[in-house]
Amino acid sequence: MIASTILMIRPAAFSFNAETAANNFFQNASFSLTNDELQNQVLQEFDSMVQTLVSYDIEVLVIEDSAEPPKPDAIFPNNWFCTFPSGIISVFPMFAANRRTEKRDDVLQWITENYRSTGLHDWSEYEAEGRFLEGTGSMVIDHANRIIYACLSERTEVSVLEKFASSHGYNAITFKATDKNGKPVYHTNVMMCLGDRFAVLCEEAIADEMERIAVTQLLDSTGHDIITITLDQMHAFAGNMLLLQNLHGDRFVVMSQTAHDSLNKEQMAQLQMFAMPLPIAVPTIERVEGGSVRCMMAEIFLEGR
């Protein structure tokens, strides 16, 4: 299942989020821009990304972030909601308290007014218990084979994950992953990208041999060619890609320019067998908030009205 429509949130108050930095070790607080300069630079990167995607006939739904309350991470909507091919819209429990205000009823209402939905499932109640599951950041989902891959972390709690997977009739495959400094990888979509016939995977991040073998064997048995990336490439967001198709059925692997520049010729040739690589520069967003292009796109798997 490849999305041809994505939703993006144009940020109103992008900034370094100290609450998420507690376990997102890709964030970097050392930058010399003023708040206004940072906001302007991020908007330039955001608008350029939208323009690039639209120029390739990929449908992009742009929602303006609400000014109040300020939401430093509103640019990453895939963490608080996702859609399933079944028509279900899900809303997720978020680790950082100041990210929970990103969950907007008006956005959900707009989606249901314009797309056919079979139901809304809100999992936010688990926030009160300190248990979290941050959407398609926490989960890399294989809809065709009804499998969810997830590395466990403070943001991805196994019991909530298993309940979510079971509610959709999917199987959850869990493992532990660490970065080059031995710290937990905060989101699965940082280390793994799944296409219909390929998977980009940082195998080095999965230290446990049995877990690593289980993941790679399952990917192989479900018809995925594995494109292996290194820990250094993972830190360059080479795992944070998304396979999309446009209105004509042309396929693109959307990635950041940082990720693109980290790949070698062999890896790029492997990707080109499946889709056209589409690099987009978002260096400020990556550096300040530790998320890249995949995090900025929420896939819409719903039928339009």
Q: Does residue 188 carry a pLDDT above 60?
A: yes
Confidence at residue 25, expressed as pLDDT on a 0 to 100 scale: 47
As a whole number, the mean pLDDT across the chain is: 93
Strand partners, 249: none
Q: Does residue 29 carry a pLDDT above 90?
A: no
Confidence at residue 289, expressed as pLDDT on a 0 to 100 scale: 76
Confidence at residue 62, expressed as pLDDT on a 0 to 100 scale: 98
Question: Considering the entire predicted model, what is its pTM?
Answer: 0.94
CATH code for the part of the protein at 5-304:
3.75.10.10
Position 3 confidence tier, pLDDT thresholds 50, 70, 90: very high
Q: pLDDT (tens digit, 9 = 90+) per residue, 96-133?
A: 999 999 999 999 999 999 999 999 999 999 999 999 99
Q: pLDDT (tens digit, 9 = 90+) per residue, 157-183?
A: 999 999 999 999 999 999 999 998 899
Q: Does residue 24 carry a pLDDT above 70?
A: no
What is the DSSP pairing of strand 225-228 with strand 198-201? parallel
